Chain A
Amino acid sequence: MSAFMNSVRLKSLFLHFFDVHFLEEKGKMSLNPHFQREMRIATRMAVATSETVYIPAASYFESGFCRVILSEFEELIGLGMIVLLGSSTSLEDYVLERQDEGFYRPGSDQHIWYKAQYALEQLPTYIRRERSATKDIIDHWRSTVDDQSLIRRLHDAAPELSSSLEKRLDIVPNELGRLAFIPEHVYEILDLAGAPSLVRARIRDVINQGYFDSYARGLGAGFITDLRYLSSTFELPSYGTNLSYPSLQRLLLEKDKLKEFSTCSPFSLGSIIDAVGWQNSALPITTPPVITPANATIYLPNQPIMTISAVPPLEVQSSTKPLKILCIAAAQVELKALTVKFADLFECEPKTRFIGQDKRYAASKFTDPKNGSEWYVATLAQQGNVEASGGVAALSHALNPDLILMVGMCMGMPGRSLKIGTVVIPSEVVGFDHERFKNGETQHRPHFGIAANGFQRIARIVATTDRDYETVVDKAVASASVKIEDPDAPLIQAITKAFSDVIAFDMESFGFYRGVPEGSQSLWIKGVADTGEPQSSTMDGRDSKQVAQKTATYNAGDFAVEVVRAWHEATTSQD
């Protein structure tokens, strides 16, 4: 054990080869004893040379090889050297979520396995991922569709493929809906059941590569490379120093230590590997990352590995891709004001871009010069909760953003004494679209939505500093698809009476939070433009109202940019 504690190691290695979709590519080869032996030795090499070995929880649960091989490391598992990764809050939740028929089709191997409820005992350390593998696979898929590399690979495999396939590749992410982005589901959508095996293999490669990229990127991890039986058909997208399997194997053979390394106790792995001098060998045992992250380890051929900064074993760290923000402005006046505000803040003119290939949605694109974040400002066809819910869902599917915002103006509740321009961030939203007419009276059936998430909590921290306008970040917002032009309207009176925590009212907040994808980082930010007064009949009155509306939206836009910049800093900082 002392060897593990005292020697310089690679920061982290990601073991990709237990993934069942990767194994599927290997076919009957996986039954070959050499294949299984290579898996086992590679795992030993990873444990011996790195501080942390990461494995997707899916590999652990779905691959018998993985569980059998890891069972050899029982003593080390308790030390947290082998870590499982997943998107759920706990391993128990991870299994439960995958029992849902909307996740894996009934009858599929995965669904059968998770339904069987493998006994959750003596499990390795588990860390919840912040990144979404599905989202990253979608991004990777779209990039290979956009740059034509996928269609080129498919045409290389089968030149006779129908020309309509190219268009259908684009719809795959939307067609999948909540289904997992796995090869079987994609074959179904593309009608590739009878397609040549090479075509199917190349589809599978894109998905597997996107999946591994998601993990390696978030972890800044390297891979075990140049495996023979476990060789990958696609390039492994490493973000950390890699370990060359054949080079280390050759070194062990040269020193006549391979047999001992293969059979020793896990605690002896470190001392054996150090005894053969792996860090100073003339063999190219470590190789640099394919993609260099900001916090990578220095790679110097034939030199000891030197870590220049710690890569925390969590996935809220730097990404080479810019942050993508979907910013929705419901009304035209809000869209116009936000466009002006962002052009001023980002010191650039917007570019008009379509979101998605079907050209159904358009947006004004801005790039934040401070951090490279890409803002897509889009609008809805109409106002109201129904349009907000459907619109945000469709736009999120099409753009696949990291952060989702609704920015604009709202009504301050009468009697709450909010100044014009005060920015409101809700901790809760209450929907009032559900009503009942009975015996000549209207009964309200309010529904509640929690608006708190990581993004909202960042906003609350940002709001602790002073600025030219006020912010309210811990109250509720009421919402109904009705335009209020009377502060004494029965609905407003009812809300005031029964919901003392409600500070503002708008027509979209409830629909917005209903429409955002589950688990996404979303935030409604609006400035107070009025308190429900009717439209003025005078020109001066209208001008004054317009000024208030612009001020409210400007302030909301300003605060939105502050919060996103704070989010970016929090997720990329290495402090």
Chain B
Amino acid sequence: MTEITINLAKSRKGVRVIKIRRTKIRKRQIVLIGSMSVYSELCAYAEVLNNAGIPTIVPEAEKDALNQYSLQDLEQFKREVSHKHIRQVRHPETWGVLAVNLDRHGILNYVGPNTFAEIAVAFAQFKKIYLLQSIPHAYLDELSAWQAIPLKGRLDTLIEDYMEATRSPSRQLKLFE
């Protein structure tokens, strides 16, 4: 999507020129959050959203960090990756987050400490919060109060909400066309 800005100015010769600056407008994005143990699911759900026309951000893969780094380097790497991803959650273009909260170790709809922290950041930044499965019992009070939306494994609700919420800006842009 492109926004066109028109500036009227005079050249040094006094001739009026029209300067057209094209600014690329990014569609608002959804950031997927979850641990590395569900990385394949993160990527798979990101692909589903992309196919529906929704830009997504997934955490950076670990590459071959363990073989290359000492413990100190590994923790530095993890810090950087975490900072980067939290910046994406807070980014103004981020419309919401999708937490991929699969069952884990017998806990249904598991939300780990990292994921919960990222959800908290999203809440603080007034982002929409979606949970792939249901709200885990352990965080029912918090996540319910933060209006997290459980998707029960289906992305339909998230896609509809996103389309509805992002429709208005595109209507407005037509005035300039």
Which residues on A are within 8 Å of B, measured CB to CB?
26-29, 32-34, 37, 153, 156-159, 196-198, 201-202, 205, 227-229, 231-236, 249-250, 253-254, 256, 258-259, 262
Which residues on B are within 8 Å of A, measured CB to CB?
35-37, 39-41, 43-44, 62, 64, 66-67, 70-71, 74, 102-106, 108-109, 133-134, 152-154
Tell me whether A32 and B40 are in contact (CB under 8 A).
yes
Tell me whether A235 and B153 are in contact (CB under 8 A).
no
Tell me whether B153 and A234 are in contact (CB under 8 A).
no
Report 14 cross-chain contacts, Cβ distance below 8 Å, ordered by A residue.
A29-B39, A156-B134, A159-B152, A197-B153, A227-B37, A228-B35, A228-B36, A229-B36, A233-B104, A234-B105, A235-B105, A235-B106, A253-B71, A262-B67
Residues from chain A with a CB closer than 8 A to the CB of B102 are 233
Residues from chain A with a CB closer than 8 A to the CB of B37 are 227-229, 231
A27-B44, A227-B37 given; name 15 further pairs at CB < 8 Å.
Answer: A32-B40, A34-B62, A153-B108, A157-B133, A157-B152, A157-B153, A196-B154, A229-B37, A232-B105, A233-B102, A233-B103, A234-B105, A235-B105, A254-B71, A262-B67
Interchain nearest-CB distance for B36 vs A (Å):
6
Residues from chain B with a CB closer than 8 A to the CB of A26 are 40
Q: How far is the CA of A32 from the CA of B134 in the complex (A)?
A: 27
Interchain nearest-CB distance for B62 vs A (Å):
6
Tell me whether A32 and B104 are in contact (CB under 8 A).
no
Q: How far is the CA of A26 from the CA of B44 in the complex (A)?
A: 12
**Shortest Cβ distance from A227 into B: residue:** B37
Residues from chain B with a CB closer than 8 A to the CB of A28 are 40, 43-44
Q: Which of these, B62, B106, B109, contacts A156 with CB under 8 Å? A: B109
Residues from chain B with a CB closer than 8 A to the CB of A27 are 40-41, 44
> Given A29-B39, A32-B40, are A231 and B71 neighbors across the interface (CB < 8 Å)?
no
Q: How far is the CA of A20 from the CA of B35 in the complex (A)?
A: 23
Tell me whether B152 and A158 are in contact (CB under 8 A).
yes
Interchain nearest-CB distance for B3 vs A (Å):
38
Interchain nearest-CB distance for B107 vs A (Å):
8
Tell me whether A259 and B71 are in contact (CB under 8 A).
no
Residues from chain B with a CB closer than 8 A to the CB of A153 are 108
Q: 6 closest A-B pairs (Cβ-Cβ)?
A: A235-B106, A29-B40, A198-B153, A233-B103, A253-B71, A231-B37
Interchain nearest-CB distance for A234 vs B (Å):
5
Q: How far is the CA of A34 from the CA of B39 in the complex (A)?
A: 11
Interchain nearest-CB distance for A229 vs B (Å):
6
Tell me whether B108 and A198 are in contact (CB under 8 A).
no
Q: How far is the CA of A256 from the CA of B71 in the complex (A)?
A: 8
Q: How far is the CA of A27 from the CA of B134 in the complex (A)?
A: 21
Residues from chain A with a CB closer than 8 A to the CB of B64 are 33
Interchain nearest-CB distance for A113 vs B (Å):
24
Q: How far is the CA of A201 from the CA of B70 in the complex (A)?
A: 37
Residues from chain B with a CB closer than 8 A to the CB of A157 are 133, 152-153
Tell me whether B104 and A253 are in contact (CB under 8 A).
no
Q: How far is the CA of A28 from the CA of B41 in the complex (A)?
A: 8
Tell me whether B134 and A234 are in contact (CB under 8 A).
no
Tell me whether B44 and A256 are in contact (CB under 8 A).
no
> Given A26-B40, A157-B153, are A234 and B71 neighbors across the interface (CB < 8 Å)?
no
Interchain nearest-CB distance for A177 vs B (Å):
30
Q: How far is the CA of A95 from the CA of B37 in the complex (A)?
A: 33
Tell me whether A32 and B71 are in contact (CB under 8 A).
no
Tell me whether B108 and A156 are in contact (CB under 8 A).
yes
Interchain nearest-CB distance for A208 vs B (Å):
12
Tell me whether A234 and B152 are in contact (CB under 8 A).
no
**Shortest Cβ distance from B64 into A: residue:** A33
**Shortest Cβ distance from B74 into A: residue:** A253
Interchain nearest-CB distance for B115 vs A (Å):
13
Residues from chain A with a CB closer than 8 A to the CB of B133 are 156-157, 198
Tell me whether A258 and B103 are in contact (CB under 8 A).
no
Tell me whether A201 and B103 are in contact (CB under 8 A).
yes
Q: How far is the CA of A159 from the CA of B134 in the complex (A)?
A: 11
Q: Which of these, A205, A249, A254, A262, contacts B103 with CB under 8 Å? A: A205
Interchain nearest-CB distance for B174 vs A (Å):
39
Q: How far is the CA of A37 from the CA of B103 in the complex (A)?
A: 23
> Given A201-B103, A233-B104, A254-B71, are A32 and B152 neighbors across the interface (CB < 8 Å)?
no
Q: How far is the CA of A231 from the CA of B106 in the complex (A)?
A: 11
Interchain nearest-CB distance for A121 vs B (Å):
32
Q: How far is the CA of A26 from the CA of B40 in the complex (A)?
A: 8
Q: How far is the CA of A159 from the CA of B152 in the complex (A)?
A: 9
